[in-house]
Structure 1
Amino acid sequence: MEKKRFTISVFTEDVVGLLNRVSIIFTRRKINVESITASESEIKGIHRYTIVVSETKDQIKKVVGQLEKQVEIVKAVFHSDDEIVYQEIALFKVKTGVLASGGQAEKIVRSHNARVLSVETEFTILEKTGHKEETQQLFDELEPFGILEFVRSGRVAITKPMKTLSSIVNDLEELVKKN
């Protein structure tokens, strides 16, 4: 079976040390995490980890099963890229003079629809949202002009299927009542 990129959403209680236990599950299976983000979810008290990995579907199913065995994990699900809408954000710090001259660097920034967040005497901070490939392309094109600093977030994603976390939690509560 060939490896494919998957996004795993892990819905958890807000517990100290849980992220460490989650990462150990990937480490033990020798799965490299490409990106991870953590945030609050739409339900108060429930947090969401969005984890991106490249692995076989069978291996991902095993990992998700193991994640769900953790007491503080409410639900873990995985999706392929075509089942989600996702973005990343990248911030670039470049010398202000490079952009102020109105030359090629400015044209590159405009062609990528990057936003200017801050203009200082010595540097300008740019923001680009998009898929990793898009933010990487802007990086590659700006690199010859000198990038002073660069940072890219992990993936944030929402599923296309109309299954909300609230409905998943309700389904789980119904299952518990039946047993």
Structure 2
Amino acid sequence: MTDAQAMSLDFGADDALAGFRLARLEVFNWGTFDGRVWTLQLDGKNGLLTGDIGSGKSTLVDAITTLLVPANRVAYNKAAGADNKERTLRSYVLGHYKSERNEITGAAKPVSLREQNSYSVILGVFHNAGYDQTVTLAQVFWMKEANGQPARLFVGAERALSIAEDFSQFGTDVTQLRKKLRALG
């Protein structure tokens, strides 16, 4: 390490906000957060999710988990101590909110907020104040098959993106969204 490098390291600085911290979480059509962009603005600070049973606390935690954990390692609704099969990526994308029982067969079928041709987006903007760097991670989900799991598009950018500005105006054609995002750089 040179003297110049050592001089640029400030070990006495307050590191309370060191590293990349969640500045903003946005969800669109994720679970019961339906039809518009919902935003949790943290600005790198700690946050507290409170609310009644079923108000969406675990849904937001699961959105963050989906962004940060490899797909094969995600266990949804762990915050609420739920059964592994209670929530799935498919149930979040389609917005399952209850089950209806068929009176003839007795089988339960989930009721969805959204149709198969809709899409969902989760987006996290992370900021490192020490290096003044911003990174956005996002995932876009859509149903390719009626009974399968959703397809997904992973997005990473070295700047702040937003769902309203960067993930709209493409209809349901994800190829158009890919082109739009690549054109933005």
Greater relative contact order (Cα 8 A, min sep 6): structure 1 or 2? 1
Which has more helix, going by share of residues?
A: 1
TM-score over 0.5 for the alignment?
no
Which TM bucket (shorter chain)?
under 0.3
For normalisation by structure 1, the TM-score amounts to 0.23
Which has more strand, going by share of residues?
A: 1
For normalisation by structure 2, the TM-score amounts to 0.23
